[in-house]
């Protein structure tokens, strides 16, 4: 198929670019030089960089550094990108330069070429105008903070809140269901099912609080630090004006970072927020695993919960239904833990004034947020809200538990209570039968003391 090309040039020389594309020479070079796997820069990050270009153009216009005509053209081109109409213009892999320079230039070039086409004149340069008062070194870390904060606020937290709400509903629904508790995978003393679920809910709520605490540090942006944090080539007050414009775009409380050198060289804030995502993942894993085991069976397992039957569970065993939502959630959580390891290691890399593992940090952090958000939505809608109770199995497990003997300890002592439990287990008797056989307590006393509803 015939393809029309145009010639673009940069400081290295000339390169052929598909004439239907808005990107320029630096994007094309990156596209050809880094043919590594299929992972491309997330749209959320592209949109964050684009928003920085819009905010910067407005700031440069206000500061009389960029003329109004060019500023308006840059803003309009950026708004087209944010509409999603140019998503196919950002093909670069995350496996590129560690500063993200090529993706910053990808956005610069697309905006410049789109704006020039709109103006019908070649007057806007990707470096001189779109990248004015900026460097990839302050744009890319700022974009990571923006994208991650936006995704957490608008995707992760709503999904988390929906899960909490659904768990609260289950608590109320099963408020009177008494079941046997379990520790070390062994029978323990009785507990309300609502109490068991309340632990799940509280854990997720605590995770939210920690996420919110870490989120605050992401609102600080190093934009205006340019190449190494000194702000070279950025006019006075550019940072304040540009970041104020970003707060208007995202409706989030972004502010100027006090120490831009830290913002360029260190990534502890990204590590911190992702560490809280890791903590959330560990809690979600436990919840999903508990649900999976409590619903196991339905006849040869614990079988206390009845999980929604969303799809056939086996290609060979008719009628089998598996805890697929729990398994999907648990796999997602495993991936989050892997992402956290990558992000933690990446944050330690780079030398002197710049971290040079930023693209993989951005990709993994945003991937984690999307994974957790989608997994919580799926787990909530396809599992949690549809959970029912197998009352007969719960009663059977409760009535046959040897750990109800704990209620006798204050009356007859630990040693005799343990002897009753062991005797009952060895001779396949109920606790009551064993207690009466050993003559440690009367039937009336046993009935008064061993009452599960008083043991919760």
Q: Please give the positions annotated as active site.
A: 184, 314
Kindly give the pairing relationship between strand 186-192 and strand 178-183: antiparallel
SS (H, E, C) the chain: CCCCEEEEECCCCEEEEECCCCCCHHHHHHHHHCCCCCCECCHHHHHHHHHHHHHHHHHHHHCCCCCHHHHHHHHHHHHHHHCCCCHHHCCCECCCCCCCHHHHHHHHHHHHHHHHHHHCCCCCCHHHHHCCCCCHHHHHHHHHHHHHHHHHHHHHHHHHHHHHHHHHHHHHHCCCCEEEEEECCEEEEEEEHHHHHHHHHHHHHHHHHHHHHHHHHHCEECCCCCCCCCCCCCCCCHHHHHHHHHHHHHCCCCEECCCHHHHHHCCHHHHHHHHHHHHHHHHHHHHHHHHHHHCCCCCCCCCCEECCCCCCCCCCCCCCCCCHHHHHHHHHHHHHHHHHHHHHHHHCCCECCECCCHHHHHHHHHHHHHHHHHHHHHHHHHCHHHCEECHHHHHHHHHCCHHHHHHHHHHHCHHHHHHHHHHHHHCCCCHHHHHHHHCCCCHHHHHHHCCHHHCC
* Residue closest to 432 by CA, chosen among 393, 391, 456, 400: 400
Number of residues assigned to the chain: 456
**Gap between the Cα atoms of 395 and 177, Å rounded:** 9
């Amino acid at each position: 198929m015939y393809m029309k090309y145009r010639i673009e040039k940069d400081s290295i020389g000339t390169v052929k670019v598909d004439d239907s594309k808005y990107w320029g020479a630096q994007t094309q070079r990156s596209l050809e030089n880094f043919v590594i796997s299929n992972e491309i820069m997330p749209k959320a990050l592209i949109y964050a960089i684009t928003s920085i270009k819009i905010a910067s153009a407005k700031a440069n216009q206000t500061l009389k550094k960029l003329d109004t005509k060019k500023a308006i053209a840059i803003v309009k081109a950026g708004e087209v990108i944010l509409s999603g109409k140019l998503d196919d213009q950002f093909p670069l892999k995350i496996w590129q330069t560690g500063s993200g320079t090529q993706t910053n230039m990808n956005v610069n070039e697309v905006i410049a070429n789109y704006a020039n086409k709109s103006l019908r004149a070649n007057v806007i340069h990707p470096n001189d105008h779109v990248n004015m008062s900026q460097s990839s070194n302050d744009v890319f870390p700022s974009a990571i903070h923006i994208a991650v904060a936006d995704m957490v606020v608008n995707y992760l937290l709503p999904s988390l809140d929906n899960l909490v709400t659904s768990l609260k509903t289950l608590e109320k629904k099963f408020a009177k269901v008494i079941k046997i508790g379990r520790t070390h995978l062994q029978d323990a003393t009785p507990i309300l099912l609502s109490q068991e679920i309340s632990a799940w809910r509280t854990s997720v709520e605590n995770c939210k609080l920690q996420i919110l605490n870490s989120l605050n540090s992401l609102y600080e942006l190093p934009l205006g630090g340019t190449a190494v944090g000194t702000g070279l080539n950025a006019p006075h007050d550019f940072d304040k004006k540009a970041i104020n414009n970003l707060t208007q775009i995202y409706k989030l409380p972004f502010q100027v970072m006090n120490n831009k050198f830290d913002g360029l060289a260190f990534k502890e804030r990204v590590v911190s927020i992702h560490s809280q995502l890791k903590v959330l993942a560990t809690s979600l894993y436990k919840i999903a695993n508990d649900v999976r085991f409590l619903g196991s069976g339905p006849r040869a397992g614990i079988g206390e919960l009845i999980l929604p039957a969303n799809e056939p569970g086996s290609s060979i065993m008719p009628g089998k239904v598996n805890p697929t939502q729990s398994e999907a959630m648990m796999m997602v959580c495993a991936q989050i833990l892997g992402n956290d390891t990558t992000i933690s290691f990446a944050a330690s890399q780079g030398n002197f004034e710049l971290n040079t593992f930023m693209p993989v940090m951005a990709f993994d952090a945003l991937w984690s947020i999307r994974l957790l958000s989608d997994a919580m939505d799926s787990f909530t809608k396809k599992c949690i809200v549809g959970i029912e109770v197998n009352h007969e199995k719960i009663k059977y497990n409760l009535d046959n538990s040897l750990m109800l003997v704990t209620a006798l300890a204050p009356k007859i002592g630990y040693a005799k209570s343990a002897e009753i439990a062991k005797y009952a287990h060895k001779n396949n008797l109920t606790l009551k039968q064993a207690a009466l056989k050993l003559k440690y307590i009367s039937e009336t006393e046993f009935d008064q003391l061993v009452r599960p509803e008083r043991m919760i």
